[in-house]
Structure 1
């Protein structure tokens, strides 16, 4: 599995982001391309901010889903979205894309961060797991819009 901490992989994601255009229809799901660009910022922000979780993550959620975040199997299409990351209003790609690019680059620069706080939903994760999870999520949504 690729990692967003790898320079070539980060460049690949940025190049694919450059191919996004307003009006591209999703190949699955209901998000617009602008909503997807907004949605993809949420997990990056969680990693960048590196805040300690406010409550202990649910062990059942960790057991059921954590390994799927960073293994080689693609995410299933039409997975439910966490309510805090659901784009419920229209989003402008021209406004959201530069923010997403900036967050991808900022996350990539954290490769040498010595300590990672636990993920608020999935608990303790290594730097390697964080990098793979971020790549896999971005790759999933870029494929959703054919890039």
Structure 2
């Protein structure tokens, strides 16, 4: 089943609707992250695309990630409780509304960036990705974490 297109405003609006159902007391159905940590975690790939966050995974992790690339960019949802790359771990506390609004701003920026420009931007972890691979990677990741918090 194809994922919704992150390049469409309607998908962005639906993601915003789901994000806006969260609140500072939202509890995870699985995993260890708090809701503010999850929002900050979800912002990482968008920040990497835009060059705001240039933290690359260590070499050993990039090798592991490339070995799992197909499972990361395909149309099969992530399983619960998968390990997290060190560059994506968020252990601090964050101001809920600030990280929520920041994530929404980043999602909108990537949507407006469009498929062509995004496909010309390599992933810091996986290298060159097609527009469809970027779509699947980004949508699948945020969908997984919103589902983690029941939205």
TM-score (norm 1): 0.87
> What is the RMSD computed on CA atoms of the aligned residues?
2.5
- Describe the shift of the 1:121–1:50 C-alpha distance in structure 2 as closer, same or farther (beyond 3 A): same
- Describe the shift of the 1:110–1:91 C-alpha distance in structure 2 as closer, same or farther (beyond 3 A): same
Structure 2 match to 1:99: 102
Question: Residues 57-92 of structure 1, C-alpha deviation per residue, up to 9 Å, x if partnerless?
Answer: 945531x31112222211011111111211111122
Segments of structure 1 that go 5 or more residues without pairing to the other structure are: none
Q: Flag as ranges the 4+ runs of structure 1 deviating above 4 A.
A: 50-60
- Describe the shift of the 1:23–1:114 C-alpha distance in structure 2 as closer, same or farther (beyond 3 A): closer
Tell me, in whole angstroms, the C-alpha distance in 1 between the residues paired with 2:70 and 2:7: 19
Q: 2:78 aligns with which of 61, 75, 80?
A: 75
The aligned length equals 146
SS at the partner of 2:50?
helix
User: Is contact 1:22–1:34 with CA below 8 Å preserved after alignment?
Assistant: yes
Shift of the alpha carbon at 1:40? 0.6
Shift of the alpha carbon at 1:135? 0.8
Segments of structure 2 that go 5 or more residues without pairing to the other structure are: none
- 2:136 matches 1:145: no
Tell me, in whole angstroms, the C-alpha distance in 2 between the residues paired with 1:35 and 1:114: 26
Shift of the alpha carbon at 1:115? 5.5
TM-score (norm 2): 0.85
